[in-house]
Structure 1
Amino acid sequence: MHAIRLHAFGPAENLSYEPAEDPEPGPGQVRIAVTAAGVHLLDTAIRSGIQGPLPELPALPTIPGREVAGTVESLGEGVANLWLGKRVVAHLGFSPGGYAELAVTDVDRLHEIPGNLDSAQAVAMIGTGRTTMGILQFAELGPDSVAVIPAAAGGIGTLLVQYAKQAGATVIGLAGGPEKVARVEKNGADLAVDYKDPSWPDQVRHFLGDRAATIVFDGVGGDTAREAVALLDNPGDTRTDAPRGKHLVFGWSGEGLHNGTPLIVEGVTEQVLGPVMMQKAGGPNPIRTLELRALAEAAEGRLTPAVQRFPLAEAAAAHRALETRGTIGKVVLEP
């Protein structure tokens, strides 16, 4: 097979497209002929040598990537024959190996891909989609809601806009540059504004009139988040009888994935990633619970992920585009 290998931590150029040994499925595992592999911002940090939330950095050389979709083409010992030939999607957890023509994973991680989704869409929902479902557990959206969504042209932002609109909320989408703003508008936002324009908060206030935002979905942090939180009703007012909005924090990509810190505003901020999200999902396997919810939303047509596709051989270009905010939606590599 061919795969993307990383021989030394560093810039995107260190990702090399080259022949690699076919992986063999062990007991309880399957081998997938990969048709789509997800690229996550965390992948760029690991490639740079930043450990982040991982228990440890992978040993080098390594094949990056932790989200794959394709067809099961080989079974390990103890795996039922019914999986052979099925279209599946899986998150590989902390195990790398996704940027390749073949990938191995435990059968317990598999989901059969609904017939109306292609592989790239399935990959988007198994990673970005499950995170979106986790975030939405903390949001109560309805016709009285005014949702502000920074990075609204991104993978999570695209899904949040769709979900909030279906709930009847007024949706304000923020994006960087005219092309992304147009995409957010087309995705259904009531107002789409360019956060690179210093006047964007005034544009939002003019649009809302005497209303205030009720919730900010914050995955970016920094100045954009501060301006967005200022649109909430009485941000930072800790009086128990004060009307207030909600600031849901699930990342701070605008500050650098691991160099920044989340914006915390007393009385309105709630951090929703990690154990908090898993505890809220509940059940014996909360991650799988969220994955199933995400795939069901897409299968039933309520959510449609945005996908930007790159050939597998151009993984370095995909990483550069993601790091410079030059992408729209979920980034996917296709062998």
Structure 2
Amino acid sequence: MRIVRVRAFGPPEVLRVEESETPRPGAGQVRVAVEVAGVGFGETIVRSGRYPLPLPYEPGIEVGGRVVELGAGADPTLMGRRVVATTLGNAGGYAESALAEAGFAFAVPDELSLDQAITVFQTGAVSLGMLSAMRVRAGETVLVTAAAGRIGTVLVQLARAAGARVIGAVGSADKAAIVRELGASFVADYGSPGWSEQVRKATEGRGVDVALDAIGGTVGAQTLEAAADGHGRIGLYGYASGTWTPLDTPTVVRRGLTVSGPLSATFAKPLDEQRADAEEALRAAAKGVVRTLVHATLPLADAARAHAVLESRESVGAVLLKP
């Protein structure tokens, strides 16, 4: 079978399609004939060497397709079903076949295509987990940076569904229009000077109750400026800028802010709760509560281009690969 492998860290071109033996599932595992694979921004960070894994490695965390082989003890009702799944060891998804734990292979609702399901099942689970970790309540105001990204678009919709008022922060006017369509009541351009002050004005000077930042660096620091004094809760879950948000402890203490890492808290949840979040995300998409967005669908041989699209910051929603 064909699989994408990385033998050296570097630019997108280090992603190479190679031939490999078809994997066989072990106990409690399934083999999925991959029809679509998700491409995440975090995978570009690993590939670049900024968060290195032992070499060589095979990228790909999310796959969608049909179960074609069961390992001993795997749920027999999964055989032949359309599923989306997280790959065994969070690796090997950019391929024609991939392994997954049977417990993390999710049947796709009839109302959804595989492209829609793969866009939302893991991203939605992560978003639900982070909103829970941040204790988002109805009536609160939530700021989401990188709001046009794959996680950002889902966070905007799920926070709004939870009864929160949502403010998005994006890097272009085109992205702002889409985020408004998804339910944000106000959208700021974080490329403009003083955007955090615009957010404060949009909240009548109070600042936001909750802020979720995936960018870090200067944008992350400005996100803290937009938080409400006395009770603002800031969740840092990424550093797309290349650096984490700088924190000045005296300022955090003086302003009465709470800073946390909701993504790690989400992944620390019991596995049955993580599975329940993924199932809830699929149901939300099937009901139309969450609209799935796909920016580009590319063949497996264009994995390098998929990474380049994500790194260009031009994408809105998901980037997918198809073997």
The bucket for the TM-score relative to the shorter chain is 0.7 to 0.9
Are the counterparts in 2 of residues 221 and 263 from structure 1 also a CA contact under 8 Å? no
- Secondary structure of the structure 1 residue equivalent to 2:221: helix
Alignment correspondent of 1:189? 184
CA 1:285–1:275 in 2, change beyond 3 Å: closer, same or farther? farther
Pairwise CA distance, 1:174: 0.7
Measure how far apart 1:11 and its partner are: 1.5
- For structure 2, the residue ranges without an aligned partner over 5 or more in a row are none
Structure 1 position 327 matched with structure 2 position 315: yes
Amino acid at match of 1:49: G
Alignment pair present for 1:309 and 2:296: yes
- For the residue of structure 1 that corresponds to 2:89, the secondary structure is coil
SS of 2:10 mapped into structure 1: coil
Of residues 113, 119, 124, the one that matches 2:108 is: 113
Q: Distance in 1 between matches of 2:8 and 2:222?
A: 39
- Cα distance change on mapping 1:334 and 1:209 into 2, 3 Å: same
1:260 aligns with 2:247: no
Aligned equivalents of 1:284 and 1:227: distance in 2?
35
Matched to 1:219, the amino acid is A
Cα 1:78–1:214 change in 2 (3 A) is closer
- Alpha-carbon displacement from aligned partner over 1:77-117 (angstroms, at most 9, x marks no partner): 44454222100111125341100121122322211111122
- The 1:325/1:275 distance shift into structure 2, 3 A limit, reads closer
RMSD between superposed Cα atoms in Å: 2.4
Pick from 271, 274, 286 the counterpart of residue 287 of structure 1.
274
Residues 207/26 of structure 1: CA separation in 2 closer, same or farther (3 Å cut): closer
The residue type paired with residue 160 of structure 1 is: L
**Are 1:89 and 2:89 counterparts?**
no
171 and 107 in structure 1: CA distance in 2 versus 1, 3 angstrom threshold:
closer
- The aligned residue for residue 136 of structure 2 is 140
8 Å CA contact retained: 1:91, 1:126: no
> Structure 2: how far apart are the matches of 1:284 and 1:68?
19
Aligned residue identity for 1:269: T
Cα deviation for residue 183 of structure 1 reads 1.2
Summarize the alignment of residues 203-282 of structure 1 with structure 2, pairs less than 5 Å apart: 203-234=198-229, 243-254=230-241, 256=242, 259-261=243-245, 263=247, 265-266=252-253, 267-273=256-262, 275-279=264-268, 281=269
**Is 1:22 matched up with 2:11?**
no
**What's the secondary structure of 1:253's corresponding residue?**
coil
Could you state the TM-score of these two structures normalised by the residue count of structure 2?
0.87
Where do residues 49-128 of structure 1 align in structure 2 (5 Å cutoff)?
49-51=49-51, 57-60=53-56, 62-128=57-123
Q: What's the counterpart of residue 43 of structure 2?
A: 43
User: Measured at CA, do residues 206 and 42 of structure 1 come closer, stay the same or move farther in structure 2, by a change above 3 Å?
Assistant: closer
In the other structure, the counterpart of 1:131 is 126
Cα 1:209–1:105 shift into 2, 3 Å? closer
* Per-residue deviation, 1:195: 1.1
Contact in 1 for aligned 2:294/2:316 (Cα 8 Å): yes
Give the aligned partner of residue 5 of structure 2. 5
- Residue type at the aligned position of 1:197: S
- What does the per-residue CA deviation read over 1:240-289, in whole Å, with 9 as the maximum and x for residues that have no partner? xxx422212222222x1xx535646333233234553345x4x4534323
Could you tell me the TM-score, scaled by structure 1's length?
0.85
After alignment, is 267-276 or 66-75 more displaced? 267-276
1: CA distance between counterparts of 2:31 and 2:319? 23
Identity %: 38
Mapped contact 1:309–1:334 kept (Cα < 8 A): no
Superposition deviation, residue 229 in structure 1: 2.2
Q: Is the 8 A contact 2:128 2:158 kept in 1?
A: no
Distance 2:294 2:98 in 1: 21
Deviates more, 1:322-331 or 1:201-210: 201-210
Report the Cα offset of residue 318 of structure 1: 1.1
Cα 1:230/1:50, change in 2 over 3 Å? closer
Pick closer, same or farther for the CA change 1:165–1:44 going to 2, 3 Å: same
SS at 2:103 equivalent? helix
Q: Distance in 1 between matches of 2:29 and 2:88?
A: 14
Instruction: For residue 71 of structure 1, report the CA deviation from its aligned partner.
Output: 0.6
> How many aligned residue pairs are there?
316
